[in-house]
Amino acid sequence: MPSEVIAMQEPDNPTIPGPGLLSSGRYIHFGPFRIDQQRQEVTRNGVRLKLQGKVYQTLLTLLEKTGEVVTREELRLRLWPADTHVNYDANVNTTVNKLRIALGDSSDKPLYVETIPRKGYSLLVQPEISNRVGNSHIPQNGVHREEAVFSSPRAGFFKFSKSDLWVVLGAIGLILTGMLLGAGIMRFWMSHPSPVSGPSLALLLLRILEKALL
């Protein structure tokens, strides 16, 4: 990516998107994404995304009306000429779905593109426009999708401290020792059905326990 800064008469602070404001800066930042309008490239954490032309135009249309509803009719007029004969509803759905896939978004739990029933779509994040390559913007929800996945309760389900591990191992050892001791006693009684005196029984139990622990 070129590192030079384009000289333009604009404030140093990033501008907020709106109709006509996308041309006030070269770069658009939101979450981990950066749009280079000059190259018509979208990158995620520096990795370029492959967006088709209509998918890219859909993203720009949403950015122009951040927080507002972009109707399906607006997308149709933006993406297809008036004399184009296509199934507009199906094509709009397909194009928006492709955009969501590229952004790693979901229609059920959207982070970026929200569906407004019977109306259209709305961009949930607040992008910034500037001529600076760097991106320090944080999404409005505070975390990225990847961070949310790894911070879910399931991630810590199998985490054990060292003390917990020793307790578990000790309990398993006691259970195994008891099972071996019980098996030894059963084998002895089956092979020696005659009564055994108290001292002899105690000595036998000590020997069986000693063998089990070795």
pLDDT digits (tens, 9 = 90+) for 25-70: 889 999 999 999 989 999 999 999 999 999 999 999 999 998 899 9
Look up residue 164 and give its two tokens: 């917990």
Please give the share of the chain, as a percent, with pLDDT higher than 90: 33
> Given a cut of 70, is residue 10 above it in pLDDT?
no
The 41-44 sheet, strands edge to edge: 47-49, 41-44, 33-36, 27-30, 128-130
- What is the arithmetic mean of pLDDT over 148-163? 50
Write down the pLDDT at residue 97. 95
Contacts of residue 76, defined as CB under 8 A and 6 or more positions apart, other chains included, come to 88, 92
The first and second tokens of residue 210, run together, are: 């000693």
pLDDT tens digits for 55-108? 999 999 999 998 899 999 999 888 887 777 778 788 899 999 999 999 999 999
pTM: 0.53
Helix (H, G, I), strand (E, B) or coil at 23: helix
Residues 15, 29 contacting (CB under 8 angstroms): no
Q: What is the pLDDT of residue 148?
A: 43
Question: How far is C-alpha 89 from the geometric centre of its chain's CA atoms?
Answer: 30
Would you state the pLDDT for residue 130? 86
Q: Which carries the bigger pLDDT value, residue 80 or residue 205?
A: 80
Among residues 63, 65, 66, 35, the alpha carbon closest in space to that of 51 is found at 35
pLDDT at 193 over 70: no
Q: In what order do the strands lie in the sheet with 70-71?
A: 70-71, 120-123, 113-116
Q: What mean pLDDT is reported for the chain?
A: 74
| pLDDT at residue number 170 | 81
Band the pLDDT of 7: cuts 50, 70, 90.
very low
